[in-house]
Amino acid sequence: GTGQLAVVPASIQAQVTTSVSIVLEATGMVEGVVFNASGAPQPGALVAGGLALVQTDANGFFRLEGVPAGRRRIEGGDPVTRRRGSAEIVVLPGQTVSAAIRLEARATITGRVLDASGAPVPRATAITSTNSRNIKVMLASVRNSRTSSRPMVSAIAIFSS
């Protein structure tokens, strides 16, 4: 079968013929490749966005059938590294649409937070974020319970990836 599903309310009475119109949702197919953060195909990744969860083959290729028509987000992830990615696509009824999913890159940042005089800041918390130009900003803060209940910015680092 197609895997399509429709729900239609109907009243049924004994000895009475009831007519019901069932309209199945238009679907299409999505196929593509999942890439790791370095750009190499990712075998064994899981991909979702249709009626089923599929796994990529040895070349990172996947095929999702029965994907509802319209704007969709196709999600992919590597169950080993737990890295995820997605692709925004428009599924056309009865057609096959291509998607490329690139899994997120991750890194570990290590270091020390120093104050303006160069002394280590104890109990500092570092937070990173990315802006629209893919520039990472790291803020480190520490609470000084004797002088303030609010965190104070102790250090700022800006770098691009």
21 pLDDT tier (thresholds 50, 70, 90):
confident
pTM over 0.95: no
Residue 88 or residue 26, greater confidence: 88
Burial class (CB in 10 A: 0-12, 13-18, 19+), 7: exposed
- Summarised one tens digit per residue, pLDDT across range 94-153 is 999 999 999 998 766 677 777 778 787 777 766 666 655 555 555 555 554 454 444 444
Task: Give every CB contact of residue 35 below 8 A, 6+ residues apart in sequence.
Answer: 41, 42, 60, 100, 101, 102, 103
Residue 129 or residue 90, greater confidence: 90
